[in-house]
Structure 1
């Protein structure tokens, strides 16, 4: 596997074909720009440790049943599948500055250069055990996008990939009790610790509103991610909000 994190020269700000973000020309579009950052042994070690943790992720049976019941379809059956996909695809994992500082990570797909997973450089010095687990969840999510090997995206695809975050997070909480306790930085409060609460809330109202706010501009589903009832409901919430 290629983890090209050493001696990477910073690139000029450029638009990436990030599946997670609005394409140029889309209504209300805000393209995300990224500049790859030179890295050191800290980032290399963090990513390697994150991948070692990812390899061990197994879903709790009831959690997987629950995901299927609400309409989320995880792209991988466990963390090892994602790890093997990374090796086989030759995907790169890099740190980058984002024009939108609220982006945790994104995936760049290029038919010529292949797949690159970009992690927000704000996290480049975060290397506690909890940080490593959080980075592994972000990588897991982007692997879900990359598995399609296309630049298409949809609300359903985001739900499917977010389910990877949640399933991994639940596994880590069980394997390492209290590992995320007292971690309330943006990566946790608005990322890896937030979505398990939203997904496992009975009414799903907060989950629907959150996904509608972030991804409602996308189509409900696509050829590889057939829209579920919850995806269509999220799309309707977005449409209703834009009419106000």
Structure 2
């Protein structure tokens, strides 16, 4: 960085320009990936040509995701901060099952989610959590159908069965009427169980944060302007 800071300014502009240009194309690619991945996992009757086409499309999208991540990493001024702030993008580039989660990154385009007030942070956590749960349950369900197909003693035979099993598992209820019998299916079950515990923890922390802030606003003495600091911050964010 020079004394005038111009290189960093140019780098920041380049990052913003790249993200602005690539946001919607990558949103479309994420949706295409989900559709192609679902067809590949759920339809065992597709022909060789169609299967090859799906493989080419999925591989191409993966390569594009990798290139996107590498370009943004190169343009980023602080590499470590970039990696920490873009873990979903890194997972999408490295692990196929996480590629649909690029959709969650589009929440950053909504101005409200960029605010730092308590209400905005809680809304961001809730939105990301709900989006994660929906995509996670669906992706795991689709994947476990492919993993269990044809296995001896398999009980998860359709997408409906898989979604039911995934919801029961992620909620840590675990009726046991449907269980994966393959090694990969059981790995997916463990991932669902761990994520269910994490989601319960995040939800509990969000609720506690909401009640703490509400109580603090009601019992805190008013400031000189009759508005407490938290309310003033929210009003400033709204402006």
TM bin (shorter chain): 0.3 to 0.5
TM-score (normalizing by structure 1): 0.33
More helix by share: 2
* Alignment TM-score, normalising by the size of structure 2: 0.34
Larger Rg: 2
For CA contacts below 8 A with separation 6 or more, give which structure has more relative contact order.
1
Q: Which structure: greater strand fraction?
A: 1
